[in-house]
Amino acid sequence: MAGVLDSVNQRTQLVGQNRLELLLFRLRGRQIYGINVFKVKEVLQCPKLSSIPNSRAVVRGVAHIRGETIPVIDLGMAIGLPGIPQEDLSSCFVIITEYNRKTQGFLVTAVDRIMNMNWEDILPPPKGTGKDIYLTAVTKIDDKLAEIIDVEKVLSEVSPLREDVTEAVRSRSAERAPGHLPVLVVDDSAVARRQIERCLIAIGMSVVVRNDGKQALQYLKEITEDGSKAKDHLSLIISDVEMPEMDGYTLVTRVKSDPALSDLFVMLHTSLSGVFNKAMVQKVGADDFMAKFSPDELAERIMEIMDQA
């Protein structure tokens, strides 16, 4: 237990400082990719994989690891690269991750190292790259471009989640008084923004969308520059944690330290999971936390917040 607590203390030192740790890896070729260490449970040499009948080709099989059966996804194939040949699997690695309340492994050809970085150095993909790319951000490492993959987009294609609010929840929302102020949704993943927006619209909420914490903070400053409070314009903020330029933890810290913004309810809504989250959320002063993505659960929680307000 002492080791876990030490690890929590070490990780939470990054919280609110706009920093992250990236695990760097390669797919097929020399291009470097990165994934937030908070999402990584472990990295191991590719174990023996058992095939799954009628599964998509990108799912190379399942691995039995520490009593758990985990699907292993060829990450390169999932983003449009050639798949790893069967005969090369034994020399590859599997990154075991937690996303959206599920555990899965990503098959990669090599794992490089862990880098401690500032989110200000993590930039959105260049303009003009199109809406169908599998990137949420890029950064420079050793004068080379490293790409951060939109894993939520990958998982939405490999193992789609139900995105629609059920009729039962819609019916309860119809009984509520209309006319609530908009919700500010902050997320760098186009897939996640779409999911949250559909959920909120289904329960009668209007939505303002921003792609990262820096954009969101700029918007909040703009709507309060006349001396008003953010609460006069918005019902609440729903923010992702991992975002280029300014992460969700830093956004919460800035919001809660500004008198014009501090009384606005902030929910962190993230695919990050695991032992560190409660400590992090408490440290930065967020009002609520929810793991992605359950449309009914999110809708019911938002209605509860609105009723309490």
Model confidence pLDDT, tens digit, residues 140-186: 998 899 999 888 889 888 887 777 899 988 888 877 666 789 999 99
Strands (E), the chain: 19-26, 32-36, 40-45, 59-65, 68-74, 93-99, 102-108, 110-118, 135-141, 144-149, 183-186, 207-210, 236-239, 265-270, 288-291
Burial of 61 (0-12, 13-18, 19+ CB in 10 A): buried
pLDDT at position 16: 55
pLDDT at position 126: 81
pLDDT in tens, the chain (309 residues): 334 334 434 544 555 567 788 999 999 888 999 988 878 889 999 999 998 888 889 999 999 998 899 999 999 999 999 999 999 999 999 999 988 778 999 999 999 999 988 888 999 888 766 667 888 899 999 889 999 988 888 988 888 777 789 998 888 887 766 678 999 999 998 888 999 999 999 999 999 999 999 999 999 999 999 999 999 999 999 999 888 899 898 999 999 999 999 999 999 988 765 545 566 777 788 999 888 888 999 999 999 998 887
pLDDT at position 5: 36
Cβ count within 10 A of residue 155? 21
Q: How many degrees, rounded to 5, is the angle at CA 240 between CA 58 and CA 202?
A: 85
Helix (H) or strand (E) holding 90: none
pLDDT at position 277: 59
What is each CA distance from 282 to 12, 47, 133, 267, 289, in whole angstroms? 10, 38, 34, 12, 10
